[in-house]
Each structure stands twice: as C-alpha cells, then as structure tokens.
Amino acid sequence: MMNFYDVVVIGAGHAGCEAAMASARIGAKTLLITLNMDHIAQMSCNPAIGGIAKGQVVREIDAMGGAMGIVTDSASIQFRMLNRTKGPAVWSPRSQCDKVCYQRGMKLWLEQMPQVDVLQSEVTAFLMDNGKITGVTNQFGDEIHCAAAVVTTGTFLNGKLHYGLRNFPGGRAGDFPSNSLSAALGEQLKLRLGRLKTGTPARILAKTIDFSQMARQECDSAEERFSCWSAGHSPALPEAVRHDLPCYQVYSTDETAEIVRRNLQYSPMYQGVIKGIGTRYCPSFEDKVVRFPQHPRHLLFLEPEGAQTEEYYINGLSTSLPPEVQRQLIHSVPGMEHAVLSRYAYAIEYDFVFPDQLERTLRIKSCDNLFTAGQINGTSGYEEAAGQGLLAGLNAARIAQGKSPVELGRDSSYIGVMIDDLTTKDIIEPYRLFTSRAEYRLVLRQDNADLRLSEFAYETGLLPESKYREFCAYRSALTEVLELCRSRRHAGKSLLVHLKDLPDNTPLAEATVRLPFPAGLLPELNDDRQGRRIWRELQVEARYDGYLQREAAEISRLRKLETLQIPADFDYDRIKGLSNESRSKLLKVRPTTLAQAGRIDGVTPADIALLQVALSRKN
Ligand code: FAD
C-alpha cells in the first residue's frame, strides 16, 4: 500500500462509495477505508433505492456520472414509478433491490477503478498539522498521508443497538461501532456532535408466510430504469436473476396495536433509555400506535430482500420492542400467523456532526481539507448519503488538486436543496428529502436530471467524454423537436398547444395514432429509448409551459441574490438595528450569500434588507 493519497475516504457505505468514485473520476488517487470489505454499500434497512424525492436524487447522481443508478438497475428486482397518477413534478422512480447483488456490484466497480484502492481497517484518529488534516491512522498503526479526507461513517459513531431494554454497542446489526473516530472528531477537530436514532423492522422467511391473505403488488411493465446512459459505460456488473418480483400489502390489526399498548414498559423509547432523536417521517410502529390512536390499523408492505433469498422485509413495522413482543406483533397480522423471524427489529442511536459546522461544499468550516457526507451529517437514507458523497468526493479531490470547492444550487438539484437546508437550518431530527422541500419542483424533475446537471459534471471532470457526447446528442435532438413544436402550426395552433389535448401520460406508441395533428409533422419521434424520453419532455413542456416559465423567472431572481456574496469575516455587529436573534443566527451559520441568509430560520426580511444595505456599502 502507498502511504500517500490525494484523497482518503473513511467508510464505504452509500456516501463513501460515491465519494471515492467521484474523487477518482476527476483524477485523484483515492483510498477508501472501511470496516468490512464484505459490507461495502450495504443497505442497512429497506431493500430499495429511490422513492419520493429520493428517486430524483438517484437520477441526479447518475446524470453526474455516479454509480448508484447503474448498480441499482442491475440489482433491481422490481421497478415502479411512484405518483404516476399525479403531475410530473412528483413522479419518483423506485427499485426494489437484491441487496447482496447491489453490494457485489458496487464493490466490483470500486475494485476495478484504476484510481481507487480499498482497505479493510478502522480509522481511529487524524494526523494533523496546523489545523489541517495530513492523514489518518488505523488500529494497525498504519499512518496514511493525504491532501484531503472525507468522513462518511454513517450510523457507526458510538453506535448503540436497542432490542427492548437490552442494548449493545454496534454500528448496525452484525458490525462493531466506531468509537475512537467519534472521540477524534470531538477532541482533535473540536466539532459539536449530537445524537440521533433510527430503526429497522424484523425480517421473516417466505416459506412461513401465507401470501394468499395479502394484496399482490406487481412491478411496472416498463422499459424504465434509473440510469439515463446506454449500456457499456460501466464494467459488467452482477445482475439480479429476476427483475419482476412482486411485493405484498397487508394491514396490521386491532390486536397488533393492543400488543404494543400492553408492552410499552419494555420500549426503550418510552422508558427514556433511548436519548437520540428519531425522525418524525419514518416513525416506529409503537410511535404510530401511541400518536395515532384513532387509526385502528396500519398499512404494511412485505418486500423481498433479494431474488436468491427467502427473507422478507416488513416495511412499516419498525420497532425497538423486545424480540418476544416482536414475534407476537408479527403473528397478529393476517398471513403472518406462523411467520418465523430471521432477524429481529432494533433501533440504533449514533453520534452525528451538527451540519451548521459545514460549508455548502460539505467542507468543515474550521478545517480546510476535511469533508463529511451522509448520515454523519444528520441525514437519513441511502440516496441522501450518496448525493452528498458525490459532492464531498469531488470537492476533496479539487482541494487536493489546488482548486476551490464547488456548490450545487437549490435551483439545479435536490442534492443542492438538501445541502442548503442542512447547512442553513437547525437540524434536530434525522433529515430526509421530500419533494415539498424544493421550491422549484417543476424544474427539478426526475426526467430532466441530465439537462440540469450533466454540463456541470462535464466541466468539473465528473462526466467522461463518452457520456458527454451521448448527452449532447440527446439534448440537441430534444431542442430540435421542441423548437419544431413551438414554431410549426396546424389548424391555427402550434403543435405544442395541440399536445395539451392528449390525455396525461399517453405512451408514445399510442400517441402516434392519437396525436391531434398528422404524425408526419413530427418525423423525429421514433419509438426507441431516446424517442420516448423526448416524448415525455414534450408532454411536460406542453402541459406546464406557463408554470415552467414562471419558475424560470423566479430562479433567475434567486441567482441574482446568490451572486451577492457575504465575506467569511463579515462583521455583523456593525449593522445597526439588526435583531439579536438574527445576529446570533447569522453568526452561527455564516451564510456565504444573501440568498442563503434569507433562508435561515428566524432571520426576518427586514433584517435581510439591513444586511443588503450593509453589504452594498462594503462593496
Ligand atoms: P452507512 O451506510 O452507515 O456506511 C457507513 C460506513 O462507514 C460503513 O461501511 C462502515 O463500515 C464504515 N465505517 C464506520 N466507521 C469507520 C471507521 N472508523 N473506519 C473505517 N470505516 C468506517 N434510512 C432510511 O432512509 N430510512 C430508514 O428507515 C432507515 N432505517 C435504518 C435503520 C437502521 C437500524 C440503520 C442502521 C440504518 C437505517 N437507515 C435508514 C439509514 C441508512 O442505512 C443510512 O441512511 C445510509 O446507509 C447512510 O449511508 P452512509 O454512507 O452515510 O453510512
């Protein structure tokens, strides 16, 4: 092993894998260190990638050359487009995945990347000189030097697993925790750490489930997949043996709720044993019963953990009640009366870094060459982690190459929305993405991620020439068809206006017969992958033209405010009339632009006006 790398990435979860790959793609020699090589890219919780807003993030990662979309496509055992009956702003792709196949795919790709080395070990401390990281050490006493580092340790920092009132140290079930590094972040880097909590349901064996008592949920029959790229841009990856497995829906019963109520004295959450804060949006089953007593039953999904395993994940039944109570809960659900549990549900508490200590580049404000990404920054979810990982890896490599780090805007991506929220707002519970967090969600759609981000990715070196050429060919074909639709007229109206008359989501194959004008007027529309993508964009443009233009105008107003930079050492004490609350929030966050200052909770528009005047005087 060399002992100097441009970038060292600590942790090979979803953030770490994308970070190492992004760093390597722009030419930085990268070392990825992780506790267990066989657990690279492990899905600690549900066996699925994507979903509401998360699917958009996977498309964004893919558009910037990342791996998550491509690996998901080969490991997918069921693809669905969620929210298809609603507007295109909220359509969200989701794939049920073969967990093991996903891990093997990501591991293989990393191992084959020329600029990446991988090492199984535990990073225990940082090597530092003059406030900067010069390397890391591990439990073997290796000293590995680097120009920049990314920490992506997920739920592992001081991790504690709860099964009823028993608890054990652990990074997740089957993995030991990372305690020394947590201490190093606090003591060597003087970072403020907090404590969060999340949980996972039990797994049960298929041969003991009576699926006939449940509703079957099939996959979409689409040619749809996550990655927008044609085949051949990645190494040959392991492929799931089935891509069309069903999931099942079933409801819990009155008895399930009653069992929870009878056993709350064994719940570590309700007995105050768990101190970490959990997410409101993904509550444990006992939380649902206590907080929503008016709901007699709750919807559960049975999701396969893979195509070559009997294990099923019970989505919606996350709990930290003791194993014996879990067994009773599960047996009270129709079709699961005789289910055998293969893994118990549990909750986990872990340390995280308060993300107001980060820049929007994901760099630690107090340390020029250290970045953090993923669950360590207070988020929850594989996709949120991977999106941050990609940006942190890119920026760490840029620092190693003597360049300045870059940001992603709220107007260009959900990743930008998330990072801006994390660094600007108070994070008091695990943060997850929703479409409602984005103010420009008609622009930030799952179908146009490449149009939003591939140019940026090419400029920063993330996107290779071959993908960029493919993107340019698609973009110019789309532009040509759009211009044609705007300019060409039939029966007194532009073709784009005619397209509005078609029912929502008409597939291209059907549309060519139903178009409200002769199909020959749009000769470029072929029923192939590119043609179908162009068709979808046309439908969105036709239906939402006015709204899209309004959002574009708002975005250009925001961009102006984003160009009003606030110097890092700006003296807020000099602004007369600023409220004390605004002053202390501004000092805490230290926003880099006026637009970011305006998004800080508690900073009023009047105070922003004062700040704007003060900034204009300073310039
Ligand atoms: P992880 O995937 O946790 O990866 C961290 C990596 O860091 C691991 O590979 C580990 O080996 C490595 N590592 C740690 N310390 C060191 C060290 N000192 N040196 C070297 N390597 C190190 N998400 C949801 O969206 N919804 C849920 O309901 C949900 N429930 C969850 C329940 C449980 C019990 C757990 C454990 C997680 C749950 N998650 C859930 C979270 C989800 O797993 C994470 O959001 C996601 O995996 C975070 O990715 P990451 O890359 O940040 O970290």
pLDDT of residue 348: 96
Contact 152, 171 (CB under 8 A): no
381 lines ligand 1 (CB under 6 A): yes
Low-confidence stretches of the chain (pLDDT beneath 70): 1-2, 221-223, 523-524, 618-619
Strand partners for 49: 95
CA 441 / ligand 1 centre spacing (Å): 28
The annotation places the binding site at 11-16, 123, 178, 278-292, 375
At 129, give phi and psi (nearest 5°). Answer: -145, 125
Q: What are phi and psi of 48, to 5 degrees?
A: -150, 150
Structure tokens at 261: 């109520």
Please tell me the residue having the least CA distance from ligand 1 atom 23.
381
Establish whether residue 199 lines the binding site of ligand 1, counting it when its CB lies within 6 angstroms of any ligand atom: yes
What ipTM was reported for this prediction? 0.98
Please give the distance, rounded to the nearest whole angstrom, from the Cα atom of residue 154 to the centre of ligand 1: 4
Inter-residue contact 350 to 207 (CB < 8 Å): no
Atom of ligand 1 nearest to the CA of 122: 19
User: Ligand 1 pocket test: which of 8, 35, 146, 376 has the largest number of ligand atoms within 8 Å of its C-beta?
Assistant: 35
Q: For ligand 1, say whether the CB of 10 is within 6 Å of any of its atoms.
A: yes
Nearest-angstrom CA–CA distance, 241 and 24: 30
Q: Please tell me the predicted confidence (pLDDT) of residue 344.
A: 98
Q: What would the two tokens of residue 371 be?
A: 């970045």
Residue 357 CA to ligand 1 center (angstroms) comes to 21
> pLDDT tens, 22-34?
999 999 999 999 9
Task: Tell me the CA–centroid distance for residue 41 and ligand 1, in Å.
Answer: 9
Going by the DSSP 8-state scheme, the letter that residue 175 receives in this structure is B
Residue 159 Cα to ligand 1 midpoint, Å, equals 10
pLDDT at residue number 519: 74
Q: Which atom of ligand 1 is least distant from the CA of 157?
A: 15
pTM (two decimals): 0.94
3-state secondary structure at position 543: helix
User: 8, 14, 180, 433: which to mutate for ligand 1, most atoms within 8 A of CB?
Assistant: 14
Cite the annotated binding site for FAD by residue number.
11-16, 123, 178, 375
Paired tokens of 274: 């768990």
pLDDT value, residue 580: 86
Ligand 1 centroid, distance to 375 Cα (angstroms): 6
Q: Taking a C-beta distance cutoff of 8 angstroms, is the pair 509, 529 a contact?
A: no
**Ligand 1 pocket check for 380: Cβ under 6 Å:** yes
Residue 201 in contact with ligand 1 by CB distance below 6 A: no
Cα 461 to Cα 473: distance, rounded to the nearest angstrom: 19
What digits encode the pLDDT tens for the residues 103-112? 999 999 999 9
Query: Is the shortest distance between the CB of 448 and ligand 1 below 6 Å?
Result: no
| Ligand 1 centroid, distance to 190 Cα (angstroms) | 23
